[in-house]
Amino acid sequence: MIEAMADLLPARTISSTCLQERRGERQPFRDYGDGLAGPDRVRRARILVVEDHVELQRALLINLRARRYDVMVARTGRDGLALAASRRPDAVILDLGLPDFDGTDFIVELRRWYLSPIIVMSGRTSPGDKIGALDAGADDYVTKPFAIDELLARLRAALRRDKGHVTHGQPPPVVIGRWRVDLGSHQVTRADAAGAPSDPVETLRLTPTEWAILELLLQRPGQLVGSAQLLTSVWGPGFQQRTNYLRFHMARLRRKLEDNPHRPRHLLTEPGMGYRYQPEARARPQNPTRSS
């Protein structure tokens, strides 16, 4: 009873929009011409720009915002992938020359679960570069230098083509202990089920709050996710100090998913910093005194 109440308290503060987005039930945006801006109740198309060149990044930001797109920018491939996973953009505009990623590798990585348009911009003009990017999963390609109007027209065309099937892909299911966690279908099922195909599959129920936390961690395998980021994303601004919420819900997640909740192998605490989902291949047991 106490647990149930404690879960309800913070869960109530999650906006229905956030939960809808996390469940992949987000409403499609509406296209109202150049800016996609419609009545206030209709959300704007969300564009992720991955570009390390500061001036071009700034020019794109200004032009896209002037046309009322909801814009976010990343200067590295690593940040770009993290933003794409957490914010689910409707389209990605990508520079092929990134400081930490080959652009084509970035596309391959993103396309493992991201289905919406990717538009590449690059100074590389050889047909081989274009073919490589398009074969990796890009939808379109503009060669630098380009007129901003051309890029915007290509973006509108890509969004129009994509409209009507804006169901976003999810990362593939992951295995934690005996359980298979599928973010796409929001189901946790036994990973080691050995019964007949007709046998009912054992499932595990997670609360909306537990799903929200788990989703943020699983979308960043191996990466530290800060407590403040988790608290803000799940409970909202103003909850950054409520680390007790995280301790409570992480303990519950471990009790449900980990084979030994006192020596977690996948849902790890980084004391004073945050939490980390450690995938199976490099899972390491954690000192029980450090888990909280």
Q: x/- contact string, 74-93, with Ca ion (CB under 5 A)?
A: --------------------
Candidate segments 35-43, 44-52, 132-140, 252-260, binder of Ca ion by CB under 5 A: 44-52
List, in sequence order, every beta strand (DSSP E) within 96-250. Answer: 118-122, 140-143, 174-176, 179-182, 187-190, 203-204, 224-226
In angstroms, give the least distance from the CB of 83 to Ca ion: 17
In angstroms, give the least distance from the CB of 138 to Ca ion: 16
What sign has the CA pseudo-torsion 236, 274, 74, 170? negative
Which of 80, 274 has the CB closer to Ca ion?
Answer: 80
Q: Which residue is nearest to Ca ion (CB)?
A: 97
Judged by CB under 5 A, the number of residues near Ca ion is 3
Candidate segments 37-45, 48-56, 205-213, 284-292, binder of Ca ion by CB under 5 A: 48-56
In angstroms, give the least distance from the CB of 175 to Ca ion: 37
CA of residue 246 relative to chain centroid, distance: 20
CA gap 5, 238 in Å, rounded: 20
In angstroms, give the least distance from the CB of 50 to Ca ion: 9
Candidate segments 35-43, 51-59, 68-76, 152-160, binder of Ca ion by CB under 5 A: 51-59
In angstroms, give the least distance from the CB of 92 to Ca ion: 15
Q: With binding defined as CB under 5 A, does residue 70 bind Ca ion?
A: no
Residues 6+ apart with CB under 8 A from 110: 80, 81, 84, 92, 118, 137
Q: Which tokens is 224 given? A: 């530290």
Q: With binding defined as CB under 5 A, does residue 124 bind Ca ion?
A: no
Looking at 31, 52, 79, 270, which residue binds Ca ion (CB under 5 A)?
52
Cα distances (Å, whole numbers) of residue 150 to 45, 127, 190, 274: 18, 19, 50, 43
Residues 6+ apart with CB under 8 A from 236: 13, 14, 15
Ranges of H-type helices in 185-288 = 208-218, 227-235, 243-257
Q: With binding defined as CB under 5 A, does residue 162 bind Ca ion?
A: no
